[in-house]
Amino acid sequence: MPIVNIMVTREGTKPGADSVTAEEKARLIRGVSELLLDVLNKPFDSTFVTIQEIELDSWGRSGLTVPEYRKRQAGK
């Protein structure tokens, strides 16, 4: 029974959006399930997928929150 956890930052993929849309989440779930079926022969009914959206200031890289990291990258 595969369990897949997808973690993304809480921000939209289009201008004006502040989170991943229900359609995008459905596509992720479908795509991951299809990948597990194709690669490992795991049937859809045994695959579980969760999606967690993390606030930007709760996600870090290189010792910085995502907003601060992006600011520094933009200044380079």
Active-site amino acid positions: 2
Rounded Cα distance between 8 and 74, Å, is: 21
Strand-pair partners of 52: 7
